[in-house]
Amino acid sequence: MKVLVTGGAGYIGSHMVKLLAASGLSPEVVDDLSGGRREAVVDAPLHVGDVGDSAFIDAVLARTRPAAVMHFAGSIQVGESMREPARYYRNNLVATLALLDAMRRHGTTRLVFSSTAAIFGNPVHVPIGEDHPKAPINPYGRSKWMVEQALADHDAAYGLKSVCLRYFNAAGADPDGVLGECHDPETHLIPLVLQVASGRRPHIAIYGDDYQTADGTCVRDYIHVQDLCEAHLLALRYLAAGSASTGFNLGNGHGFSVREVITAARRVTGHPIPEVLQARRAGDPPSLVADARRARQTLGWQPRHADLDTIIGHAWSWELRHACWTRP
Ligand code: UDP
């Protein structure tokens, strides 16, 4: 089964490509390499180009004729989306609509879409199940929620079947040590904390300690990238079985504060990791924790690396051994 993976040179996409290949499927990657890395694409052909470029994506679909598309490509930073919303609507919404048009032209009827917990905004309750109100508070979340709504309409009108997977905080690295997280610039908490531990940064900034949480810092539900990818594989099988379009929240159901993550990283790495308190980052909800029971029940999803120290430990191995392929 041929699967087209957009953003397959990026963090989660590259782990997905490796898992698809290991599972006997045939992934092909589309990536414009604006955020992804050529070195991250293992075991799959890479088509370099922009998902929003209709002529390019038409040519790729004509050549590959995939049974399904996994759409990871997009812009992912909450803070940047507040400063540059146009980029988010262009890369996440407009480009996805172009991809959907191309899929329709080529008769590709199945899509697994990378969505986000940011579609929920400030939670009215935690943990957050699929029925929680969708009220995103930043352009990143809004752009993803708009795509989710467009996908529902595309199913009703054109029969496009999709599964939207709302990631909570993707973290960790390939347990085999081949792949890991490599954003430039890096903005995510766990890789930044580990860059402090390895001496690449002087300190970790804590963005606000006056939130309505137990220690005042933001609480997030960190989910291992490998567990996320396994959920995608199950979603693919779900669609292949002819099941209805839907969405699933993906997290472990345990929230950790920024301070708890830093403490865990000190424990795992044995490094002191200096911290500096800074102002809040615009667009951050205080607490995001998933209720992922639906994914467990419907897809049979079973996270295997739920422990925070394991997640940080895999990311630490990656930081020490590869550090984005820039060091030996
Ligand atoms: N955060 C922080 N310092 C950093 C990076 C992130 O305090 O250098 C906080 C951020 O404000 C948020 C949490 O860590 O509350 C997780 O942020 P991240 O960017 O990793 O993921 P997000 O929740 O934005 O998807």
Residue 258's CATH number = 3.90.25.10
Task: For residues 127 and 213, state if they share a domain.
Answer: no
Domain count, the chain: 2
Q: How many residues does the chain have?
A: 328
Same domain for 244 and 313, yes or no, is no
Question: Same domain, yes or no, for 147 and 261?
Answer: no
Q: Is 89 a catalytic residue?
A: no
Q: Based on the domain organization, do 128 and 216 belong to the same domain?
A: no
Domain of residue 77, CATH code = 3.40.50.720
If we measure between CA atoms, which residue out of 187, 211, 238, 198 comes closest to residue 80?
A: 187
> Out of 11, 88, 140, 222, which one is annotated catalytic?
140
Residue 177 counted as domain residue: no
Which residue range(s) make up the domain with 164? Answer: 2-171+222-250
Q: Is 54 part of a structural domain of the chain?
A: yes
Token output for 111: 């899509």
Of 231, 250, 269, the position where a domain reaches its end is 250
The residue to mutate among 181, 189, 209, having the most atoms of ligand 1 within 8 angstroms of its beta carbon, is 189
**Domain-located, residue 178:** no
* Same domain, yes or no: 87 and 215: no
Q: Are residues 201 and 298 in the same domain?
A: yes
Helix, strand and coil content of the chain, in percent to the nearest 5, comes to 40, 20, 40
Same domain, 234 and 298: no
Which residues line ligand 1 at a C-beta cut-off of 6 Å?
Answer: 78, 169, 187-189, 192, 204-207, 218, 220, 258, 281, 284
144 and 257 fall within a common domain: no
Residues 6+ apart with CB under 8 A from 140: 75, 76, 77, 78, 80, 81, 88, 92, 116, 118, 283
Residue linked to tokens 């309750």 = 125
Q: In whole angstroms, give the CA distance from residue 124 to residue 316.
A: 34
pLDDT tens across the length of the chain (328 residues): 999 999 999 999 999 999 999 999 999 999 999 999 999 998 899 999 999 999 999 999 999 999 999 999 999 999 999 999 999 999 999 999 999 999 999 999 999 999 999 999 999 999 999 999 999 999 999 999 999 999 999 999 999 999 999 999 999 999 999 999 988 889 999 999 999 999 999 999 999 999 999 999 999 999 999 999 999 999 999 999 999 999 999 999 999 999 999 999 999 999 999 999 999 998 889 999 999 999 999 999 999 999 999 999 999 999 998 767 664 3
Q: Is residue 181 part of a domain?
A: no
Locate 305 and state its tokens: 């690396």
> Do 112 and 154 lie in a common domain?
yes
Is there a domain that residue 182 lies in?
Answer: no
Q: Are residues 130 and 48 in the same domain?
A: yes
| Same-domain status, 27 and 78 | yes
Looking at the domain assignment, is residue 117 inside a domain?
yes
272 backbone dihedrals φ, ψ, rounded to 5°:
-70, -30
Give yes or no: residues 103 and 140 share one domain: yes
**0.95 exceeded by pTM:** yes
Domain assignment of residue 180, yes or no: no
Q: Is residue 58 part of a domain?
A: yes
Degrees (nearest 5) of the Cα angle 218, 141, 165? 95
Q: Give me the helix-helix angle, 308-321 and 189-197, nearest 10°.
A: 60
For the question of an ipTM over 0.95, the answer is yes
Closest ligand 1 atom to residue 219 Cα is 15
Cα-to-centroid distance, 189 and ligand 1 (Å): 5
